[in-house]
Amino acid sequence: MNIIVCIKRVPDTADVDIVVDKSGKDIEKSGLVFDLNEWDSYAIEEAIRLKERLGGTVTVISMGGEDTNESLRKCLAMGADEAIRLTDSAFSGSDGYATAKVLAQAIRRLPYDLILTGTQAEDDGFAEVGVMVARLLGLPHVSIVTRLELEDRKIRAHRELEGGLEEVVEVDLPALLTIQTGINEPRYVSIMGIRKVAKKEIKVLGLSELGLQAEEVGLRGSDIELERVFLPPVGEGAQMLEGKPEEIAQRVFEILKDKGGLV
Amino acid sequence: MKEIMVVAEHRQGELRDITYEMLSKGRELAESFGGTLSVVLLGKGIRALAERLLPRAHRVYLIEDERLEFYNSETYERVLLQFLTERKPHLTLIGHTAQGMDFAPGLAVRLGWPLATDCIGIEPKDENFTLTRQIYGGKINSEVTFLRKGPYLVTLRSGVFEGKEKEPLSGEIVSLPSPLTDEALARRFLQFVEAAVGEVDITQADILVAVGRGIKDGENIPLVKELADSIGGALACSRPVVDKKWLPKACQVGTSGKTVKPKVYIAIGISGAFQHVAGMKGSGTIIAINKDPKAPIFSVAHYGIVGDLFKIVPVIKDKIKELKQK
């Protein structure tokens, strides 16, 4: 079972005060902590579990600059066998579609039975790259997968729908699945574990090695262009309770009493 | 005349709200540039659903086939590829839902038409559109435009646009033959599975104490459980808590979990991602505790407390116990 996992390195913006940068087209990223996209951590874990059970290899691929090596190494430390980084100045400005073209072109040259991606990325949240890669490669896909079982050359996958409903589908291999959070518990990677793979080679491929034309990728090969970013308009907002914890607690008690929140 | 096409979404015999939301926004757009509004329904035995949409569109295209009984990305893609290639609507609206997320990206690749996903705003701009999208987990909004010429594909976030009824249109139903054959599919629908119901049905509770990622560890759940017990409330949570197996799926509030409307909803350590808010914004009174003053939960909450939940929650719990005894 040869599995390819596409990953992305993203800034962790939860609980962080985000500021729009001078260009007005992105956020100020200095000082932010970057990590493997949460959805992708579940995808790589799922791939490694399948490999541990069935043998084969896990190859992890990402498009990005040198910083991306950090996330690729994390995946190697988790148990991936090989890592490939796709980088070229021509790739800059790529939207989800252009990114999918680059990833698909790299995957085309590799042997695989299964491709896994996260359902979406924490930063731009397109939720389109995985399915586009599948279509560019002419593969069947299943998105938003919360459970999967392999039998013969088929996968039985649970897809998450709305309101607690799931649908079960069967798909022939080779196929691409986009993985939803919660499908497993991604393993912890120790600093020792990362050190062990520090010298492992990460293969780097650019535009010409991939056989792509500059106009197919980057901004020129994209569907959409970002014009500006801004802080979302704030609604009426909450009435803020301030003071010492005891005073706040007193107010909360009164509100609960008043609004039927005490039984 | 420019045509706006809505791809209707239905499941288990019911039209989903997103269909009405898209039709409402689609009508507004069509009126703004003097175009027409159409909707296309794919399925089996769904003429009654098509009739329900008559007052909402100028044309209701109905494509029925027994192979379309259950949604499948492969059949949807084949049917829509042919249909949209023939009609070439200026703009096609699809829901950014479990269904739309599953077929829209592949359809866009096959059609070769540009796609913008998960939009919360769409305004015409000459021949193009300006689209608003949320990025970085809803903390930042972005405006994007299409780089290529249309026809355009856009997926709209559910629960953002109002699906209200307007003056009825004199629509007509146009039945079209299905292009599907008995050709084998690489992906097959097997069945629906309902999530297990928990010990406590959170949709029935008057008071919910909900906990999010801010609780940091499953070992800290009892802290919130004690608060819930002290006020006679039930325990609920946001998605990350279920993903990490700290609480069962039956406790999850949000798009992929339950929609709740308790009298009082206390959100503890929940940032207020759109998917969570969609499941609890109808609550009577919302009290939020979060350490990030810019957390989106504070724009939906009625009362907000900025601070460390580990310091504030025990004090509130003790105070309530003390005052209840009086």
pLDDT tens-digit map of A217-259: 999 999 999 999 999 887 678 999 999 999 999 999 999 989 8
Write down the pLDDT at residue A263.
Answer: 67
Q: Of A136, A58, A120, A94, nearest to A225 (Cα)?
A: A94
Residues forming a β-bridge with A28: none
Percent of chain B with pLDDT strictly greater than 70: 100
CA distance B120 to B133: 6
Question: What b/e readout covers B272-307, taking b as 16+ CB neighbours within 10 angstroms?
Answer: bbbbbbbbbbebebbbbbbbbebbbbbbbbbbbbbb
Nearest residue, CB atoms, B188 vs list A143, A169, A250 = A169
Write down the pLDDT at residue B195.
Answer: 75
Chain-wide mean pLDDT for chain B?
95
| Cβ A45 vs Cβ A185: under 8 Å | yes
pLDDT at A189 exceeding the cut of 90: yes
Mean pLDDT within A178-197: 96
Chain-wide mean pLDDT for chain A?
95
Is A258 domain-assigned? Answer: no
B7 to chain A, closest Cα gap in Å: 18
Query: Could you give all domains of chain B from N- to C-terminal order, each with its CATH number?
Result: 3-176 (3.40.50.620), 202-325 (3.40.50.1220)
Task: Find the domain containing A103 and state its range.
Answer: 2-221
CA distance A92 to A102: 11
**CB–CB of A132 and B108 under 8 A?**
yes
pLDDT tens-digit map of B264-296: 999 999 999 999 999 999 999 999 999 988 888
CA distance A96 to A129: 5
Residues of chain A in contact with residue B301, where contact means CB-CB under 8 angstroms, are: 238
Crossing angle for the helix pair A96-108 and A129-136, to the nearest 10 degrees? 40
3-state secondary structure of A116: strand
CA distance A98 to B195: 37
Is A42 domain-assigned? Answer: yes
Is A183 domain-assigned? Answer: yes
Look up the CATH number of the domain holding residue A150. Answer: 3.40.50.620
CA distance A143 to B99: 9
pLDDT at A216 exceeding the cut of 70: yes
Pick the residue from chain A with its C-alpha nearest to B146: A224
Residues of chain A in contact with residue B210, where contact means CB-CB under 8 angstroms, are: none
Nearest residue, CB atoms, A238 vs list B131, B186, B303 = B303
CA distance B141 to B143: 7
**CB–CB of A248 and B305 under 8 A?**
yes
Percent of chain B with pLDDT strictly greater than 90: 90
pLDDT at B324 exceeding the cut of 90: no
**Most confidently predicted of A19-23, A228-232, B64-68, B159-163:** B64-68
**CB–CB of A229 and B140 under 8 A?**
yes
Count other Cβ atoms within 10 Å, centred on residue B149: 10
A192 to chain B, closest Cα gap in Å: 24
pTM of the model: 0.95
**CB–CB of A163 and B258 under 8 A?**
yes
pLDDT tens-digit map of A100-154: 999 999 999 999 999 999 999 999 999 999 999 999 999 999 999 999 999 889 9
List A residues 59-98 in contact with B (Cβ-Cβ < 8 A).
Answer: 96-97
Is A66 domain-assigned? Answer: yes
Is A241 domain-assigned? Answer: no
Tell me, yes or no, if A17 comes closer than 8 A to chain B by beta carbon.
yes
Domain count along chain A:
1
Using alpha carbons only, give the angle A63, A64, A68 rounded to the nearest 5 degrees.
110
Is A255 domain-assigned? Answer: no
Is A263 domain-assigned? Answer: no
Mean pLDDT within A167-187: 97
ipTM of the complex: 0.95
pLDDT tens-digit map of B134-189: 999 888 999 999 999 999 999 999 999 999 888 999 889 999 999 999 999 999 99
**CB–CB of A128 and B115 under 8 A?**
yes
